[in-house]
Structure 1
Amino acid sequence: MNEDVPHDTGALRSVAGLAGAIVSAAIPPFLVGALAPRIALSIPLDTGDVGIAMAGFYLVSGVLSPAGGRVVHRLGPTAALRWACGLSTLGLAAISAASNPVQMIVLLTLLGVPNAVVQPSCNEVLSRLRSSQVRAVSFGAVQSSIPVATLIAGVLLAVASYGIGWRWTVLGVAVLTVAAQLPIPNLAPNTGAVSAVQPPPRRRSTSAARGPARGLLGLLVATGFLASCAVTSLPSFAATTGHHFGLAPWVIAAAQMLGSVGSAVMRVVAPALTSRASARRQLMAVALLQGTGTLGFVALATGSSAGFVAGTIAAFTFGWGFNGLFNLIVTDAHPGRIATATGLTQGGVFIGGMAGPLVFAAIAGSERFGAAWLAMALFMCGALSATLLAARRARSVTTAHTVVPAGPVTVPEGNRW
């Protein structure tokens, strides 16, 4: 076992460092989306500009995500995370000084580069934790940092509305991203260890086994893509939608903050409760969350104050609360090439993050916000369908493999495929 593999007693510091890195890389589009109504008072930034900026961020993230996995494998997760945080700091500082929509769009697009590296880095670190239970909870805790980023954006919306203004708000976040580098764990590149637990047994794959396994990964990519199309519009356009419906800024901020808290909690609870379940049952749990989240998007489309608040909270909590469990499923399926596999699935997530805001902006550009949220509900229904197909395919993958023991080894509890 590599000496750089963290013990479970060091999991708390690892989770703190990874969460800070993810927030640093992921918060720029959420921040701009939440602050868009305030930014528009000094820069002519409309809904279409916000959609293009979000699309650019996630396009770059998605296209470069597979390459990001290879970068992590070569440099090691520590170096990759520090590099990503540094670029995020510089990008946020530049956004605080932007003077027109074109600069805002270009800067957000370039910030997709560090975002492409963070997720494979985090999954590589967490895969080296020994206990399946600790690993499951840690995956959820780290993934909860994404809704925490939207929570921060919601808080900052209130601050910018009644206090220091959007430029100083963004600059303050840039300073905080520097501090996020302090708890990042020091780990060397993975030079060949399959995981922190004992190596898994060798699998002799038949042609029948390779087909289902390949199809399963494709379905997981499709799930990530379709779900991301829907949920990325939440932090990007919830504030704009509430403003369009005539809600007070504190109501919009409160709904987004409550939804973010719910999503963060669900991302921890879901993998913790299903850490010992089969892959099929884990995928069914993901489908349940996505189905409930769909109802939240439908409620958002009603246009009422109650529908906006309830829909925002439900869509955030359930529609955006499955990611911790989803990433645990992906890493358990590929214990020998975690950074590469998650680079592919995150590529689907990021491309969805590009497509969703573009579709939303195209529909809502003529002030049809209700129709735009219904379109996001259809995307989530598509993700639900792909997840159910993946659950069915998971059973085929499990039964199609023939396990050939490679000496006295202990099969990781999380390797249930």
Structure 2
Amino acid sequence: MASIPAFLVGTLAVEMRQSFPITTQELGLAVTSYYLGAACWAVPSGRVAERVGGVRVLKLTPVIGALLLVGIALLSSSWWVVTVLLFPCGMVSAGTATASNLFLARRGKPSRQGATFGIKQAAVPFASLLGGLAVPALALTVGWRWAFGMAAALSIITAVLVPKPTQPRAPATQRRTSLVPKIDKAPIVLLAIAIGLGVFSASGMAAFLVSGTVHAGIAKGSAGLIAALAGAATVIVRIVSGFLADRRASSHFSVIAVMMLVGALGYATLAVGQHLKLSQLIIPGAVIALGVGWGWNGLFNFAVIERHRATPARATGMTQLGGRLGGMLGPTIIGLCINHFDYSAGWALAATTCAMAAAAVVLGDRVLTRRAAT
């Protein structure tokens, strides 16, 4: 529910244009606002979570998110209103991400944390899947505003379902005087760049996949189903890769790099299919690009937390900053590329940045291993 606002805007853009004008470039800026809000709150959210507790944050963020979703449903009369409301939605997403990472690192079974983080990160592509299904289920029947209203109701339900804290909150003086472990920033910066490049590709594709497939001659409902299929593939890959990670002692970052390279091939296939307007290439290209090329996220968080057991929220908050910046720049730059050239050029750019992300992961892993040995 914290991830769904940006995906709903991306998949429902075609229907939203019937209520008010919104160009491809404006759509990219609107989604960028979401990731900008998340980037601004990524690092502070990790500190807040480790100070007040992950569960307490998770009790509050879904309620705030629900109010913002209702605001989009009721108040959106132009693209800039959507843009303004998506900024705090991004902050909610960042707070939810670091708090849930801390929650699972502290309360999850160590032998099952690969699967645990895979399932947790599957929530993001599951939001993409729901966004795709919202097109034929709600947008084409009762209207796009009802999709945001439904998401708000589900967000309130998640707030109720969050479990209670198992330990009382520490006194303020104890929290201030407790020793705060330091984080080696050099490898974290490299890994943040890697996730930023990877999310750059995925967020740009998620924002324009439905619009691109419609432009290629595919019906609106079918385009939404393609987005849902790609989201479902990402859900499956994230969960399966997490379960497999629990059976390996190491090499998690190497697996991530291979997945990114496969994803780059998926983006390239999508670019060719878009250029030739061949659904035979568009569908598998989209599924591989998002399914594998974005299926590494849960494994990535697990690998980072495994190397930073004392500071899981702060470490993932720092890498999340890279991911959020990538998500912020992806829709904008890919949107500009599509606007000035075509959709195939946008997908080609996504393929390039995804391959660069694989190289950055390998480099960050080597630096992290060398620093740890030293």
TM-score (norm 1): 0.82
In the alignment, what sits opposite 1:320? 294
Deviations 1:143-177 (A, max 9, x none): 10111101110110112343111012221221111
Cα drift, residue 329 of structure 1 = 0.8
Determine if the alignment matches structure 1 residue 282 to structure 2 residue 256.
no
Give the aligned partner of residue 339 of structure 1: 313
User: Which range moved further: 69-78 or 229-238?
Assistant: 69-78
Give secondary structure in 2 for the equivalent of 1:391. Answer: helix
**Paired letter, 1:95:** I
- Asked if 1:88 is matched to 2:88, the reply is no
Equivalent in the alignment of 2:210: 239
Structure 1 position 293 matched with structure 2 position 267: no
Alpha carbons 2:139, 2:146 under 8 Å: kept? no
**Alpha-carbon distance, 1:131 to partner:** 3.0
Aligned twin of 2:175: none
Q: Does the CA-based 8 Å contact 1:140-1:324 persist in structure 2?
A: yes
CA offsets, 1:264-323, max 9 Å, x none?
A: 1111111221225344x1111001110110011111112122221111100111011001
Mean Cα deviation higher: 129-138 or 27-36: 129-138
**395 and 337 in structure 1: CA distance in 2 versus 1, 3 angstrom threshold:** closer
**Distance of aligned partners of 1:189 and 1:333 in 2 relative to their CA distance in 1, 3 Å threshold:** farther
Mapping for residues 110-125 of structure 1, pairs under 5 Å: 110-125=88-103
CA distance in 2, matches of 1:381, 1:121: 30
1:172-202 deviation per Cα after TM superposition (whole angstroms, max 9, x unaligned): 221111111122122247859xxxxxxxxxx
**What are the equivalent positions in structure 2 for 1:88-167 lying under 5 Å apart?**
88-97=65-74, 98-129=76-107, 131-167=109-145
Q: What displacement does 1:332 show?
A: 1.0
Q: Which residue of 2 aligns with 1:61?
A: 38
Does the 8 Å CA contact 1:293/1:320 hold for their aligned counterparts?
yes
SS in 2 for 1:111: helix
Moved more, 89-98 or 75-84: 75-84
Query: Which deviates the most, 390-399 or 311-320?
Result: 390-399
- Say if 1:43 and 1:101, in contact at 8 Å, map to a contact too: yes
Give the fraction of aligned pairs with identical amino acids, expressed as a percent.
28
Give the Cα separation in 2 of the matches to 1:184 and 1:150.
22
User: CA separation in 1, counterparts of 2:311 and 2:170?
Assistant: 11
Are 2:237 and 1:272 equivalent residues in the alignment? no
Alpha-carbon separation, structure 2, partners of 1:130 and 1:45? 44
**In structure 2, do the counterparts of structure 1 residues 26 and 130 end up closer, same or farther at CA, with 3 Å as the change threshold?**
closer
1:219 paired to 2:183: no
Cα 1:69–1:175, aligned 2, differ >3 Å: closer, same or farther?
same
CA distance in structure 2 between the partners assigned to 1:372 and 1:399 by the alignment: 41
In the alignment, the residues of structure 2 paired with residue 292 and residue 224 of structure 1 have an alpha-carbon distance, to the nearest angstrom, of 15
CA contact (8 A) 1:48 1:362 kept: yes
Q: Secondary structure at the match of 1:319?
A: coil
**1:223 counterpart SS class:** helix
CA distance in 2 between counterparts of 1:219 and 1:270 reads: 22
> Which residue identity is paired with 1:344?
M
Which moved further from structure 2: 352-361 or 172-181?
172-181
Q: Aligned letter for 2:90? A: G
Q: Which residue does 1:412 correspond to in 2?
A: none
Look up the SS of the partner of 1:295 in the other structure. Answer: helix
Q: Distance in 2 between matches of 1:340 and 1:48?
A: 34
Counterparts of 1:96 and 1:45, CA distance in 2: 16
Structure 1: segments with no counterpart, 5+ residues = 1-23, 193-202, 401-417
Deviations 1:47-85 (A, max 9, x none): 111111111111111121111111112222122112211
1:360 counterpart residue number: 334
- 1:93-138 deviations in Å (ceiling 9; x for gaps): 1111211111111111221221120111011111123532322211
Contact 2:40 2:91 (8 Å CA) reproduced: no
Answer yes or no: is the 8 Å Cα contact 1:120–1:343 preserved in 2: yes
Against the structure 1 CA distance between its residues 255 and 130, is the aligned structure 2 distance closer, same or farther, given a 3 Å change threshold?
Answer: closer
Is the 1:26–1:146 Cα contact (8 Å) retained in structure 2? Answer: yes
Specify the alignment match of 2:362 in structure 1.
Answer: 388
- The corresponding residue for 1:177 is 155
Q: Is the 8 A contact 1:75 1:189 kept in 2?
A: no
Q: What stretches of structure 1 move > 6 A for 4+ residues in a row?
A: none
| Residue 190 to residue 371, structure 1, CA distance change in 2 (3 Å) | farther
User: What does residue 255 of structure 1 align with?
Assistant: 226
Higher helix proportion? 2
Aligned-partner Cα distance in 2 for 1:331–1:291: 23
Q: In the aligned structure 1, how far is the partner of 2:168 from the partner of 2:217?
A: 52
CA distance in 1, matches of 2:334, 2:168: 40
Tell me the matched-pair count: 359
Scaled by the length of structure 2, the TM-score of the pair is 0.91
CA distance in structure 2 between the partners assigned to 1:313 and 1:349 by the alignment = 21
Match of 1:230 among 193, 196, 201: 201
Q: Is 2:50 aligned against 1:73?
A: yes
One-letter amino acid of the structure 1 residue matched with residue 160 of structure 2: L
